[in-house]
Amino acid sequence: MYPQLAIEAAAHSDVGRRRSHNEDSFAALPCLGLFIVADGLGGNAAGEIASRMAIEVVKSCFEEEDDLQDTWPYGTARPHDRDEVRLVLSVRRANREIYQASQQEDEMRGMATTFAGVLLAPGMAYIAHVGDSRVYRMRGGTLERLTRDHTLLEELLRDGDGALAALEALSDRANAVTRALGCDESVAIESRVEATAPGDIFLVCSDGLWGPVPEGQIAGILGAHRDLSLAASLLVDLANEHGGPDNVTCVLARLGGG
């Protein structure tokens, strides 16, 4: 791995006001440049198990310096390409392990989880996600979403003509997740690479934050409070003030340097 970057980080998670237990899981690891969130699906305790597995599998792939020799030629890739490949392959491995576990135990059958993560390396951010957990970047006072939700709503809006009519017919199903880790043996993992700048703040969060809280209010909190621990706590409080309809998790990472 690269020498440790100057990264400040904070994270906060809460059950919310309408749920009995928290099915979100997360990790904030400045020493690895890794910041990840998973939001479990499947009800009962299964969603919690799936999200925890996703976080632990991805984290272990970086902590153990596993070479991840899967189907991509990881060892022959250029250093920066390897970072993106490594992140995507770690998520792919998490999907496989969650799916296998769900097939072996009846109480885990049908469990799944969304996933969103950022890997920070010198000058670059590598992003991977599945489902409707999101990654944002705050730069120069502007909040930008770097992921697109894998939901019926987003897919219909991308389809163009007739999308709104179809959406009205779906109504209460519009926000249904269309892909997640653990549903099948393989999953399409969306990834992107972004150049970074000193002072960039990356926010990785579950839909319990961005669902009830408008992006303008999220940007306002991040712009007004330099202390990331305070900002993370205030964002979770704000989600609960807006009704706390779901578990809410946010992970913040700010790049230092000149």
Q: Is the pTM of this model over 0.95?
A: no
Which strands make up the sheet holding 142-145, listed edge to edge?
7-14, 248-255, 201-205, 134-139, 142-145
Element of type H or E holding 157: helix 152-159
Among residues 182, 184, 174, 249, which one has the least CA distance to residue 210? 249
Q: What is the DSSP string of 5-44?
A: P-EEEEEEEE--SS-SS--EEEEEETTTTEEEEEEEESST
Element of type H or E holding 169: helix 163-170
pLDDT for 73 equals: 47
Q: What does the alpha-carbon distance between residue 170 and residue 156 come to, in Å, rounded to a whole number? A: 10
Write out pLDDT tens, residues 112-147.
999 999 999 999 999 999 999 999 999 999 999 999
pLDDT for 156 equals: 72
Gyration radius of the chain's alpha carbons: 18
**Domain 7-255, CATH number (from 3.60.40.10, 3.40.50.720, 1.25.40.10, 3.30.1330.10):** 3.60.40.10
Place of tokens 């779906």: 170
Angle, in degrees to the nearest 10, between helices 152-159 and 163-170: 160
Annotated domain spans of the chain:
7-255
- 3-state secondary structure at position 76: helix
Write out pLDDT tens, residues 43-65.
666 899 999 999 999 999 999 86
